[in-house]
Structure 1
Amino acid sequence: MPATSAASKGRFATLGAEHASTVSRVAAELRRAVFEGELESGTPLRELALAESLGVSRPTVREALNALVAEGLAVREPHRGVAVATPRAESVRDVCRARWVLEGAGVQAWASADEARRARVRETLDAYTGAVRGGRASYEELNERHLAFHVSLVELTGSPRLVQMAETLMDELKLALAQVDRIRRNAHDEAESHEGLVTLLEADRIDGPDGAAAFLRRHIDDAEVEIIDALGLE
């Protein structure tokens, strides 16, 4: 009896791992389709249709959709089901205001940050600009590396709570930024802008009209306008 029970547990563990793997693959495919523009904002995500097209069960699709909802890429509405999230202009403005508070604090902390945190800023910058100039990265990858750079600025503060807040903000913004990247195709310009910011930081030029803080403020303000304009938000 104990041997049978142990064998059963082993089989069930394998089944559980296989199910989790399938859910992850489905979520990854849906995420890719959203970032690549195959699923536009507002597109309904029907469990049955997705299950049939992806060759998986409806419960698997349901779990994958739950993951996208948790990430802010999809929304669930009563009696209407799940749909790809649609950015709202006021939300974009509010997120950008909050970004300035958090990332601005990071820029001001550059001088007192340890070398490990400074190195993290350089590493995320290199990862982003390398992906941009390599020309083969997906919009999802570019987006992740772009946002990782901005989170690394907040890491300069040394505050885990502020970093967690920044990561939450980036989750809210990632869909809108990906759509802008796809529409404007200006990733090279963005890469150069981020390099300019780090150049100012490394020269310890933080304050003043030509310093890193003012540079970052203009960057975030421009991003707010660009997102709202490119996506036709009101």
Structure 2
Amino acid sequence: MTNDSFAGPLSVGGATPIATTSVADAAEAHLRRLLFSGALKAGQELRDTVLAKELGIARPTARTAVLRLISEGLLEREPGHSARVRSFTAADVRDIYAVRRLLEFEAVRVITVEGRSTTQVAGALTAFARAGDSWEAGPDADTLFHTAVVAAAGSPRLTRTFEGLASEMRLMIGLLRSRYSSLSELYDEHAGLLAALESGDTDHALSLWAEHIDDAEGYLLSSLTDAA
């Protein structure tokens, strides 16, 4: 086994039993939590045989869970090789954040200029609050908040385009864990973003959005440089 092979343990904060109606669903959810918590590192190899042994499940079941995560873009697999945790280059980060600016800034303009309802965004923030300080829930909570903002602009096509970034966004948000002292700190940033939307002040909202996105992009780029 290579040094970056998946060697377990496959749990965060203690044992996590796989016990649901669908073992493949449970294995997928378990791996997803590890990905979003940062327990699995970029480029780390995930062998079906090792996963099956660690989780106490059949190899075909482990393979099914891995294939689902590959289809979402969370894992990647080259022909003839085991799956690996998706990794990002500096060019990937810049491209994804450039697209986010195009889509989110437009949504913010529409919401503030047209006075569109932010009820859906407020609901996403409430869900964010329920995550508490469990960082494993952070990537989903963050992504759902920003998706709700884009949806509030009222363009189904804009929303579908943004949703296409969801898997990559979740992984990148997972990489931001060391940027924040707790998930509550990240929640507070989003509460400020919602308040800016509700104020109807377009310039102020765009300024906060730019600061939020620039900070995340800058941290990710710096992390890639430090790891090189």
Gaps spanning 5+ residues in structure 1: where? 1-17
Give the TM-score of the pair, scaled to structure 1: 0.81
Q: CA RMSD in A?
A: 2.2
Letter in 1 for 2:163: E
Look up the SS of the partner of 1:77 in the other structure.
Answer: coil
Is the alpha carbon distance of 1:146 and 1:49 closer, same or farther for their aligned partners in structure 2, counting shifts above 3 Å? Answer: same
CA distance in 2, matches of 1:20, 1:169: 30
Please show how residues 82-93 of structure 1 align to structure 2 within 5 Å: 82-93=83-94
Look up the SS of the partner of 2:218 in the other structure.
Answer: helix
Which residue of 1 is the match for residue 176 of structure 2? 180
Larger radius of gyration: 1
Which residue of 2 is the match for residue 62 of structure 1? 63
Per-residue deviation, 1:20: 7.8
Which residue of 1 is the match for residue 148 of structure 2? 152
Q: Percent identity?
A: 33
The count of corresponding residues between Structure 1 and Structure 2 is 208
Cα pair 2:115 2:200 within 8 Å, conserved: no
Which residue of 2 is the match for residue 95 of structure 1? 96
CA offsets per residue over residues 150-179 of structure 1, 9 Å max, x none? 111111221122112112212112112112
Cα pair 2:20 2:26 within 8 Å, conserved: no
Look up the SS of the partner of 2:202 in the other structure.
Answer: coil
The structure that is helix-richer by fraction is 1
Which residue of 1 is the match for residue 11 of structure 2? none
Look up the SS of the partner of 2:77 in the other structure.
Answer: strand
Is the alpha carbon distance of 1:186 and 1:87 closer, same or farther for their aligned partners in structure 2, counting shifts above 3 Å? Answer: farther
Which residue of 2 is the match for residue 171 of structure 1? 167
Look up the SS of the partner of 1:83 in the other structure.
Answer: strand
Per-residue deviation, 1:113: 5.5
Please show how residues 52-131 of structure 1 align to structure 2 within 5 Å: 52-111=53-112, 112=114, 114-115=116-117, 118-131=118-131
Greater shift, 118-127 or 179-188, is seen at 179-188
Is the alpha carbon distance of 1:183 and 1:58 closer, same or farther for their aligned partners in structure 2, counting shifts above 3 Å? Answer: farther
Letter in 1 for 2:60: P
Which residue of 2 is the match for residue 204 of structure 1? 200
Give the TM-score of the pair, scaled to structure 2: 0.83
CA distance in 2, matches of 1:227, 1:129: 24
Which residue of 2 is the match for residue 225 of structure 1? 218
Greater shift, 32-41 or 76-85, is seen at 32-41
Cα pair 2:36 2:170 within 8 Å, conserved: no
